[in-house]
Amino acid sequence: MSRLPKMTAINSLLIDHEEALDQALAALLEANPALQPLYAIGGRPPLRKRAPGFKGLAGLIVSQQVSTASAAAIWKRVEDRFPALDAADVLGNDDATLQACGLSRPKIRTLRAIAAAVDAGQLDFDRLGTGSVEQAFQALVAVKGIGPWTADLYLLFCFGHADAFPGGDLALQEAARMGFDLSERPSAQALTELAEAWRPWRGVAAKLLWAYYGAMKRRIGEPS
């Protein structure tokens, strides 16, 4: 059984290093005892911090709708061609160059839309941390091609926002179904409503649920 981390003072709602994750996890579990059995099974979730900014968001876009292996291979080609990938790299190269990295046309369109928003000052990654998670979310989904799931994942894994919650994630929905003995998998709206009780640590709860989901899938011998 996993040990509950010691509760200490929390000075930030950014989960961007291991100690911050431990402190936030302790706060979440102290306030929500119903999550403790899931934590006991899944254990301490990994931080899984990604690079922030344009490159981090681009990495999330590249990894969508392809296998982990395919995403890694494509991303390696992107990084080999553009080591410090930024908006200028996307705007300054033609589709053929980007396609040579393995990027599909829809992903190129999305990356160009993001790059154009950055270039026009409509999307400022530095300013995403100055307001609420809801304000940051709206700034991201205002860009064509960035959906709610991608926006929440960026805020959680790249920015490290402790309260970002991707309620549309199927693994989280299934984890909630199993963990709370629900009759069916909750919808994105139903899971988001359930997660209200976990504020301001909904992102930490998401990490806990993913860890629980993976542990349960391993128990029944299915790939997580």
Domain count within the chain: 2
Q: What is the pLDDT of residue 121?
A: 93
Q: What is the pLDDT of residue 2?
A: 42
105, 81 in Cβ contact below 8 A? no
11 assigned to some structural domain? no
- If asked whether residues 142 and 125 sit together in one domain, one would say yes
The CATH code of the domain that includes 119 is: 1.10.340.30
- If asked whether residues 87 and 170 sit together in one domain, one would say no
**What's the pLDDT band for 7 if we cut at 50, 70, 90?**
very low
Select from 105, 135, 158 the last residue of a domain.
158
Q: What average pLDDT does range 89-107 have in this prediction?
A: 96
- If asked whether residues 59 and 146 sit together in one domain, one would say yes
Q: What is the pLDDT of residue 222?
A: 63
56: closest CA among 158, 165, 166?
Answer: 158
d(CA 153, CA 70): 19
Select from 108, 125, 158 the last residue of a domain.
158
pLDDT at 3 over 70: no
163, 129 in Cβ contact below 8 A? no
Q: What is the pLDDT of residue 224?
A: 53
- If asked whether residues 34 and 91 sit together in one domain, one would say no
57, 154 in Cβ contact below 8 A? yes
For residue 17, the 8-state DSSP code is S
List, for residues 154-176, the tens digit of each pLDDT value: 999 998 999 999 999 999 999 99
- If asked whether residues 188 and 116 sit together in one domain, one would say no
- If asked whether residues 102 and 143 sit together in one domain, one would say yes
- If asked whether residues 132 and 195 sit together in one domain, one would say no
List, for residues 50-88, the tens digit of each pLDDT value: 888 999 999 999 998 888 899 999 999 999 999 999 999
Q: Which amino acid is at 216?
A: M
- Name the E strands within the chain: none
Please report, rounded to a whole number, the percentage of residues in the chain having pLDDT higher than 90.
79
Q: What average pLDDT does range 138-143 have in this prediction?
A: 95
10 assigned to some structural domain? no
195 assigned to some structural domain? yes
The CATH code of the domain that includes 36 is: 1.10.1670.40
What range does the domain containing 202 cover? 18-48+164-219
214: closest CA among 206, 224, 203, 222?
Answer: 224
1 assigned to some structural domain? no
Q: What does pTM read for this prediction? A: 0.85
- If asked whether residues 94 and 114 sit together in one domain, one would say yes
